[in-house]
């Protein structure tokens, strides 16, 4: 599939029209069909072109979601769950039209179980809203994909981000969910316990299913104690390889790094310009350590020793909370820094993830490939997890450059897969990576398709995403 | 279902006979039908009566497993994977007969990727064999269910044990698996990376599926660095509630306890007698701390403060490796200590797990119930995970006692479920808990059944376990 070519799927015109009529009776003004609103509910944050739904319904309860699903099931109409719309792989597009179900009004924090280090939330709660709410409890929710995404969307995408290296991804941090299945049944996926051996792991099956198996209407998620001390700083290296090797050694020693983020020299230059910083333009690790005061000292000492052995400089500390926030704000704004660097370009998101022992090699080969294809492509990465994003900045009206970017991405994904890695560490398959899912998983993709078919025989749940199935 | 009544399933006599004939051609002396061998491959460790397979095949490679599965699929014959046979819930029984496939010869450690903190093993490798192999690497595999189980069986059961509280269960420690599916396809469930968002999580779906969806023939599992220091000891409390509350506070503070195991006074008395120890007979926590030298000191100091506030005594340290090993050996031998306590009894394994905030209440109510039913039932538990085993010691020829034990178990499982918990934290559903799976999961059990039917339409994979489906 070319970067800008999207699969066309046949539309069930009559069904869509009827379903909208039926839903209108119940939802009234909470069902919208205006062009501007439909556009807001298709893609805005990626290079992938928009494919609009036919209507948007604003649901306010599990029971309302159930109603929408039942109507869509009756008329075999696609239903696309919508959180904050920050998917990078076409997750909220509607290739066969249908109903976008906006879950942002389901934004209640239902219960904080401080003793159990968990809380129960509706899917429209964003991670920032949750952490604001938790401010005085001594607890926090660590997963931070950059965007202020909704927790439902993050679970559906199996999202992670900068501090997954210590706290895990959504896979490790969702205990249980309430999900409306394609037949309208409401399923509670698991007990509210730290572990369970009771049957198939429906929680984990639904996490990362990208809305193709059901719609999440409630989540029980793990919380963590706010560490006594947080220290952040940067450490610069002569080479990307040196930075990767420092990461490998830290992970091998079992250092509980809270964040360890790589930026290549080009990316540092971009964020310097965009965020008014003044770092030397060389491969850099952004670091954060969490622990007790003594624990952090110990970690820092060990990391400094490691860095020295692989040609790293001394750690430059951000001593105040403000300075630390500025550091991570700059990291999170890297995407905007890229777009600002080359006016009018699109950033083509990539998401390779490899075993950490192959990371230095994978990044180096990929950078070389970008150079040989004459692409501007800064690197930023969650290197403690072996996950990195190299983002070709492409003028989409330059056919030749688009073709080179396609070739680059093809080779990147194949390289990651050949290194026992994956084409996506945290963004998901969406529309953009379906072909690579099949290459990566082989017969496993058939099993996925058979599960999809068993649970959603009419293919109404976010069709055209993740995995298709033969009729 | 009464304790001793097992479901009867219809046998496919002709298919079984034909399949055995076909398999005999390939496996020769590696296919056995002698009574004694069949008995060894049905249950030996639990109160659940044995249901023998018709033949045992000793497979030595993925390709051989694939061959057996294809033959069984052709003739619609049940196939029951067998590791060390330590399942507590009827996992290796053959209620409709069929072929037991013994995987103990698949015991190669294929590769240790020290840089990535993982290794690739065949399913017949036991956890002790793996740790022996890792001895000089500075790495270890932490999960310890007590029995020296095979890693394939542990993954299939989503096993955990004493140090899951720190290192997680098999769910968190299996990165990827090679699995022979019911149609004979070999599926690699995931890349060898720390994280992935590539499609449905087949790894997690297969973990805990108890052989009902496929046969694991290779596992890539996480390893951990051997901590610089390990300290173990015991802390005694006036009440079980005090011990539970100390556990809750430690977990809430984020103390990275490596093990925190509760024994009630009766259980302490039993292990004193069986293992020649001399602890005071009162509620006791067995503790282990892992970390750097300073880190362990810090943890111990914090735990001691906690214990003091809830009426715990000082920690009695086991200062030598030998003494530490003796402590944990006694813990692991608790099952045998129980059986020895009441000659001729069976121990009816239970496995309730609740949110930790409900633990003290759940244990107290359950103990009271045992007392009111006049059952001898010691408590032992992985309390950091909210998981405890209370084990009625029952004379199986005493109908009245059996009936009281049934009532007790019914109420225990319903109590745990009512407290947002589960009937099984780590033993699995097997045959024994199928009814409770349905009570616990409701419509979720239907989803499980539809997945089973999609992947194994002829119900040949370990039939009669976990979840059934309507024909």
Cα separations in angstroms, A322 against A231, A329, A442, B95, B429: 12, 10, 48, 65, 51
Interval A396-412: pLDDT, tens = 999 999 999 999 999 99
DSSP output for B218-283:
EEEEE-EEPPSEEEEEEEEBSSHHHHHHHHHHHHHTT---SEEEEE-HHHHHHHHHHHT----SS-
User: Is this complex scored with an ipTM above 0.85?
Assistant: yes
Which of A186, A197, A446 to substitute to test the interface with B, most B CBs within 10 Å?
Answer: A197
Interval A100-127: pLDDT, tens = 999 999 999 999 999 999 999 999 999 9
Does residue A47 surpass a pLDDT of 90?
A: no
Q: Which residues of A touch B248 (CB under 8 A)?
A: 115
Q: Which residues of A touch B453 (CB under 8 A)?
A: 454
Domains of chain B, by residue range, sit at 13-104, 109-225, 228-432
**Residue in A114, A387, A443 nearest the CB of B185:** A443
Put simply, the answer to whether A441 touches B385 (Cβ < 8 Å) is no
Tell me if A100 sits within 8 A of A80, measured CB to CB.
yes
For A161, counting Cβ atoms within 10 Å of its Cβ (0-12 exposed, 13-18 middle, 19+ buried), the class is buried
Per-residue tokens: A218: 């409630």
Q: What is the pLDDT of residue B306?
A: 95
**Would strands B79-82 and B99-102 be described as parallel, antiparallel, or unpaired?**
parallel
User: Residue B471 — pLDDT band, cuts 50, 70, 90?
Assistant: very low
Q: What is the pLDDT of residue B208?
A: 98
Interval A412-421: pLDDT, tens = 999 999 999 9
CA gap B400, B374 in Å, rounded: 11
- Please state the separation of Cα A184 from the chain's center in Å: 27
Residue B28 to chain A, least CA–CA distance (Å): 31
Yes or no: domain B228-432 corresponds to CATH 1.10.1740.110: no
Put simply, the answer to whether B446 touches A422 (Cβ < 8 Å) is no
**Residue in B190, B252, B447 nearest the CB of A202:** B447
For A348, counting Cβ atoms within 10 Å of its Cβ (0-12 exposed, 13-18 middle, 19+ buried), the class is buried
| Helix B359-372 vs helix B399-418: crossing angle, to nearest 10 | 160
Q: What is the CATH number of domain A342-418?
A: 3.30.70.2740
- Three-state secondary structure along A152-200? HHHHHHCCCCCCHHHHCCHHHHEEEEEEECCCCCEEECCCCCCCCCCCC
Chain A from 359 to 378: CB within 8 A of any B CB: none
Tell me if B384 sits within 8 A of B260, measured CB to CB.
yes
Residue B165 host element (H or E): helix B164-167
Per-residue tokens: B375: 């059952």
Partner B contacted by A4 (CB < 8 A): no
Does residue B94 surpass a pLDDT of 80?
A: yes
CA gap A30, B346 in Å, rounded: 61
Coil, helix or strand for B58? strand
Tell me if A9 sits within 8 A of A464, measured CB to CB.
yes
The more confidently predicted of residues B469 and A340 is A340
DSSP output for A229-242:
EEEEEEEEBSSHHH
Residue A125 to chain B, least CA–CA distance (Å): 21
- Least confident residue range of A289-293, A423-427, B198-202: A289-293
Q: What is the pLDDT of residue A75?
A: 98
Nearest to A266 by CA among A377, A118, A129, A382: A377
Coil, helix or strand for A279? coil
DSSP output for B92-153:
T--TT--EEEE-TT---EEEEEGGGTEEEE-TT-BHHHHHHHTTTTTEE-----SS--BHHH
CA gap A453, A439 in Å, rounded: 20
Contacting residues for A380 by C-beta, under 8 A, at least 6 apart: A261, A262, A263, A264, A267, A331, A334, A388, A389, A391
Q: What is the pLDDT of residue A215?
A: 98
**Residue in A114, A196, A355 nearest the CB of B422:** A196
Q: What is the pLDDT of residue B98?
A: 98
- The C-alpha angle with vertex B84 and arms to B81 and B87, in degrees rounded to 5, equals 75
Does residue B1 surpass a pLDDT of 50?
A: no
Does residue B262 surpass a pLDDT of 80?
A: yes
Yes or no: domain B109-225 corresponds to CATH 3.30.465.10: yes
Q: What is the pLDDT of residue A469?
A: 53
CA gap A45, A60 in Å, rounded: 25
Nearest CA in chain B to A354: B193
Which of B143, B174, B178, B198 to substitute to test the interface with A, most A CBs within 10 Å?
Answer: B198
Put simply, the answer to whether B198 touches A224 (Cβ < 8 Å) is no
Per-residue tokens: A59: 């649901």
Q: What is the CATH number of domain B13-104?
A: 3.30.43.10
Which ranges of A393-465 does DSSP label H, i.e. alpha helix?
399-418, 434-441, 443-455
Coil, helix or strand for A320? coil
| Helix A321-332 vs helix A334-341: crossing angle, to nearest 10 | 50
CB atoms within 10 A of CB A14: 11
Nearest to A382 by CA among A68, A213, A113, A169: A169
Interval A375-391: pLDDT, tens = 999 999 999 999 999 99
Put simply, the answer to whether A204 touches B201 (Cβ < 8 Å) is yes
Which of B120, B181, B183, B193 to substitute to test the interface with A, most A CBs within 10 Å?
Answer: B193
CA gap A53, A37 in Å, rounded: 10
Tell me if A92 sits within 8 A of A85, measured CB to CB.
yes
CA gap B128, A407 in Å, rounded: 48
Q: Which residues of B touch A455 (CB under 8 A)?
A: 447, 450-451
CA gap A80, A462 in Å, rounded: 5
Q: What is the pLDDT of residue B4?
A: 54
What is the average pLDDT score of chain B? 94
Cα separations in angstroms, B136 against B92, B140, B221, B230, B425: 35, 10, 18, 17, 33
CA gap A105, A300 in Å, rounded: 43
- On the question of a common fold for A13-105 and A109-225, the answer reads no
List residues bridging with B175 in a β-sheet: none
Q: What is the CATH number of domain A13-105?
A: 3.30.43.10
Coil, helix or strand for A113? strand
Q: Is the dihedral of CA A213, A216, A217, A222 positive or negative?
A: positive
Q: What is the pLDDT of residue B6?
A: 65
Chain B from 172 to 191: CB within 8 A of any A CB: 172, 181, 185-191
Interval B401-446: pLDDT, tens = 999 999 999 999 999 999 999 999 999 999 989 999 999 999 999 9
CA gap A436, A447 in Å, rounded: 16
Q: What is the pLDDT of residue B278?
A: 93
Per-residue tokens: B418: 């009512």
Interval B346-355: pLDDT, tens = 999 999 999 9
User: Residue A470 — pLDDT band, cuts 50, 70, 90?
Assistant: very low
Contacting residues for B25 by C-beta, under 8 A, at least 6 apart: none
List residues bridging with B107 in a β-sheet: none
Q: Is the dihedral of CA A423, A427, A432, A433 positive or negative?
A: positive
Chain B from 202 to 241: CB within 8 A of any A CB: 202, 204-205, 207-209, 213, 224-225
- The C-alpha angle with vertex A270 and arms to A266 and A271, in degrees rounded to 5, equals 120
Tell me if B430 sits within 8 A of B91, measured CB to CB.
yes
What is the average pLDDT score of chain A? 94
CA gap B457, B462 in Å, rounded: 13
User: Residue A3 — pLDDT band, cuts 50, 70, 90?
Assistant: low
Place of tokens 């450690």: B109
Q: What is the CATH number of domain A229-337?
A: 3.30.70.2190
Nearest CA in chain A to B165: A194
User: Residue A395 — pLDDT band, cuts 50, 70, 90?
Assistant: very high
Residue B312 to chain A, least CA–CA distance (Å): 20
């Amino acid at each position: 599939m070319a970067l800008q070519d999207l699969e066309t799927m046949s539309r069930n015109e009559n069904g869509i029209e009827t379903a909208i009529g039926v839903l209108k009776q119940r939802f009234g003004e909470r069902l919208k069909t205006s062009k501007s609103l439909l556009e807001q509910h298709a893609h805005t944050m990626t290079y992938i072109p928009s494919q609009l739904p036919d209507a948007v319904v604003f649901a306010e309860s599990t029971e309302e979601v159930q109603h929408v699903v039942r109507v869509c099931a009756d008329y075999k109409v696609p239903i696309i769950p919508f959180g904050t719309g920050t998917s990078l792989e076409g997750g909220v597009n509607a290739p066969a039209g249908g109903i976008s179900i906006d879950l942002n009004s389901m934004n209640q924090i239902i219960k904080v179980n401080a003793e159990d280090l968990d809380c129960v939330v509706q899917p429209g709660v964003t991670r920032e809203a949750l952490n604001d709410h938790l401010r005085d409890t001594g607890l926090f929710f660590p997963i931070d994909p950059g965007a202020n995404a909704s927790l439902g969307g993050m679970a559906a995408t199996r999202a992670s981000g900068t501090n997954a290296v210590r706290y895990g991804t959504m896979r490790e941090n969702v205990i249980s969910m309430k999900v409306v299945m394609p037949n309208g049944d409401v399923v509670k996926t698991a007990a509210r316990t730290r572990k369970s051996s009771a049957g198939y792991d429906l929680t984990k099956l639904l996490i990362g299913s990208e809305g193709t198996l059901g719609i999440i209407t409630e989540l029980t998620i793990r919380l963590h104690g706010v560490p006594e001390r947080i220290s952040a700083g940067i450490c610069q290296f002569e080479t990307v390889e040196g930075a990767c090797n420092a990461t490998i050694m830290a992970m091998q020693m079992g250092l509980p790094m809270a964040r360890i983020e790589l930026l290549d020299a080009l990316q540092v230059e971009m964020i310097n310009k965009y965020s008014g910083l003044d770092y030397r333009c060389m491969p850099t690790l952004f670091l954060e350590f969490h622990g007790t005061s003594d624990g952090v000292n110990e970690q820092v000492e060990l990391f400094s020793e490691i860095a020295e052995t692989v040609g790293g400089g001394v750690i430059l500390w951000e001593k105040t909370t403000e300075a630390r926030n500025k550091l991570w704000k700059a990291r999170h704004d890297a995407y905007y820094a890229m777009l600002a660097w080359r006016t009018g370009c699109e950033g083509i998101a990539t998401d390779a993830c490899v075993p950490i022992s192959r990371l230095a090699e994978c990044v180096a080969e990929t950078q070389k490939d970008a150079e040989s294809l004459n692409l501007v492509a800064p690197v930023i990465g969650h290197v403690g997890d072996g996950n990195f994003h190299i983002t070709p900045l492409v003028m989409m009206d330059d056919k030749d450059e688009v073709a080179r970017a396609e070739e680059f991405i093809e080779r990147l994904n194949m390289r990651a897969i050949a290194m026992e890695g994956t084409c996506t560490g945290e963004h998901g398959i969406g529309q953009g990576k379906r072909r690579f899912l099949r290459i990566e998983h082989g017969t496993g993709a058939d099993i996925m398709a058979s599960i999809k078919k068993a649970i959603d025989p009419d293919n109404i749940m976010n069709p055209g995403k993740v995995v298709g199935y033969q009729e």
